[in-house]
Chain A
Amino acid sequence: MSTSRSTAELRTPKFTETVGLIAGREVTTRLRSKAFLISTGILMLAVLASVVLGGIFGGKSDPAKVAVVGAAATAVEGNPALEAVPVDDQAAGEALLRDGEVDAIIVPEASDPTGLQVIGLDRAPGGVVQALSAQPGVELLDPATVDPLLAYFIAFGFGIVFFMSAITFGSTIAQSVVEEKQTRIIEILLSTVSARELLTGKVIGNSVLAFGQIIAIAVLALVGLLATGQRVLLGVLGSSVIWFVVFFAIGFVMLAALFAASAALVSRAEDVGSVTSPVTMLVMIPYFAVVFFFDNPTILTVMSYIPFSAPVGMPVRIFLGQAEWWEPVLSLLILVATTLGALAIGDRVYRNSLLRTGTRVKLAEALRG
């Protein structure tokens, strides 16, 4: 009978079509949620603010403008920290100084050992004096490739973006699983589609959202770096950001499967938090580890290979220049394998728990089926 009903209007949908419908519903539901839009907006603002603040604190200051009188011009010439504004005499320089056009005036002074005198307005122009001072050359035996403060901010940045996105979309998929159990629409859905189609649709829908948010953050950060003229930082950060996006895309699928499977064990929205807390820990630990141990190469190396912390650990190591070219590739392969395992386990637990309402389903029972 059912085969004879196949018409232009009605036919048996393919697996991909069903999954597409389910994923589409997940995405549109989320995009209509005010809470989701607001939290995304706040995250975007935080990223933009940190890039702009980084530009203000980390950027090199412009050369100081100084008015030079007569022969003093030769002393300033070729000095990268100073920009000379030649004036006819000291009075003309003072006029510029009082207008705020220049930071100081430099005049020749025969009585001074340096042959120069620096004139400031209300306080000694320290920067200008320092720029004129002769300094001994410095050589570092073991130079740090990256400013440690900058390294901290980068590690913190990757950590918090991964943490926020994984928690946001992980709990979204968990809520969505329990909502279907709690409202019992799951009975209607399962009499129509298979548990695998449902789980695949949910994981894809939420992964697309999470991935979209990460791409938006990455683009915002990179454009922000360009716009604030931090090209030097962009060069070193660029490749680690790209690796971060790749690792996140796969790592989130793994987390989504785990969130969905653990949420399927309970039947009430109130129980989602406690049942998903082991998965939440798996997301939080790498975040705290990277914040505390960003300067410990051994711990970072270990982190960069453990699937749950690799999306944060590996990009930080790439940024710090600690990773060989093959290391992210190897770590990515480990992550992909773990993700496939998580999907298989998640599918089993999810399928076996969906119609069991009431008390929490024991994990061992859900695995046995």
Chain B
Amino acid sequence: MLELQHLGKRFGERVALDDVSFRVAPGRLTGFVGGNGAGKTTTMRIVLGVLGADTGTVTLDGHPLGTADRRSFGYMPEERGLYPKMRVLEQTVYLARLHGWSPAAARRNAEELLERLGLAERHDDPVESLSLGNQQRAQIAAALVHRPEVLVLDEPFSGLDPIAVETVQSVLSDAADSGARVLFSSHQLDIVERICDDLVIIAAGRIRAAGSGEELRAEHGSERWELLTDGDAGWVRELPGIVVTDFDGGWARFEADSDAARRAVLAEALRRGEVAGFTREHTTLAQIFKEVVQ
């Protein structure tokens, strides 16, 4: 378990982080979501030790992080950085060796990873000659080549086409499956929603919500229900304790002021004919995000 406890950071007068606490569990993908300047990058840099916190601690399995722990971290900074003139494979192997891998194992790791990321053909090309998307893949390879136990990725999906997003997603899922703690930030809420097990939402330096997807939905999700029938659903409006918010032919979205009123809708629908659907309205991450940030 990677645990951030009460992190605080000021830059001059500006408070960048205020009492930031959350956990990144092993084997799960944790998405870190927030607007521009909310404090995501600052938090990640503190976890990596490239920036010091004013207050608070970061612990790994209960002990404070040290240099030796951070050698088993993988990091993809917000501002991408690789040696532009160094070849892709050579550079990836070099970074693995700095982390302590033997030459042969570093090479094997790098070749496997570049193959999976679709860069096998570009082994001997200098990084600067790659397209932006491929540079991004090389950057992900650099963060993962030493098989880190903790992965911290700042916007790993930005600038990737949909196929590359899937590739990277599966690489990250594999890392989590093998026990790594994976924390990544993203603006692309749909991707985060699709792949993340846990979510952390930050705004103006404060954590607004944290937990698994189900927990967040239970807490911040919609109270509205949706009904789909084969006939006209206009009768729903007539039932007591029900407010219809949207209506279209056989489909209606409504709020019920009690569980009994909601169940009465289903019973009446079944009496009138075929029921194709009766579900709680799906709340998107974007909706939850808007709600908790405001």
Chain B associates with chain A: yes
Residues of A within 8 A of B (CB): 1-3, 5, 8-13, 18, 21-22, 25, 29, 179-180, 183-194, 355
C-alpha spacing A188/B85, complex, angstroms: 17
- Which residues of B sit under 8 angstroms from A194, Cβ to Cβ? 67
Query: Do B50 and A190 have beta carbons less than 8 Å apart?
Result: yes
B72 near A1 (CB under 8 angstroms)?
yes
B: which residues have CB within 8 A of A?
A: 45, 48-51, 60-61, 67-73, 75, 77, 79-86, 94-95, 97-102, 104-105, 142-143, 146-147, 149
Q: A2-B68, A11-B100, A188-B95 are in contact. List 7 more A-B contacts (CB 8 A).
A: A2-B72, A10-B101, A21-B94, A183-B84, A187-B45, A187-B79, A190-B49
CB proximity of B46 to chain A, nearest CB, Å: 11
Given contact pairs A9-B105, A191-B49, A185 touches B67 in the complex (Cβ within 8 A): no
- Cross-chain contact B100 with A12 (CB below 8 angstroms): yes
Query: Which of A1, A12, A18, A185 touches B81 (beta carbons < 8 Å)?
Result: A185
Q: How far is the CB of B76 from chain A (nearest CB, A)?
A: 8
Partner of B102, one of A1, A2, A9, A180: A9
- Whether the pair A12, B102 counts as a contact (CB closer than 8 A) is no
The answer to whether B81 and A184 touch across the interface, beta carbons within 8 angstroms, is yes
**A188's contact among B49, B68, B72, B81, by CB below 8 Å, is which?**
B81
Please determine whether A25 and B94 come into contact, CB atoms closer than 8 angstroms. Answer: yes
A-B contact pairs, 18 of them (CB 8 A): A1-B61, A2-B72, A2-B149, A3-B68, A5-B72, A10-B99, A10-B101, A21-B97, A183-B82, A183-B83, A183-B84, A184-B79, A184-B80, A184-B81, A187-B45, A187-B50, A188-B82, A188-B95
Q: Which 6 A-B pairs have the closest CB atoms?
A: A184-B81, A185-B81, A9-B105, A187-B77, A184-B79, A191-B48
* Residues A12 and B68 in contact in the complex (CB < 8 Å), given A21-B97, A21-B98: yes
Inter-chain contacts of A1 with B (CB < 8 A):
60-61, 69, 72, 149
Contact of A184 among B77, B102, B146 (CB under 8 A): B77
**Complex CA distance for A282 and B146, rounded to whole angstroms:** 43
How distant is A171 from chain B, measured CB to nearest CB, in Å?
Answer: 16
Q: Within the complex, which residue of A9, A11, A191 is in contact with B70, where a contact is CB–CB below 8 Å?
A: A191
- A2 touches which of B69, B77, B105 (Cβ 8 Å): B69
Q: A1-B61, A13-B100, A29-B86 are in contact. Are A188 and B149 (CB under 8 A)?
A: no
CB pair A191–B61 under 8 Å, yes or no, is no
CB atoms of A183 and B94 under 8 A apart? no
Q: Are A192 and B99 in contact (CB under 8 A)?
A: yes
A2 B71 Cβ-Cβ under 8 A: yes
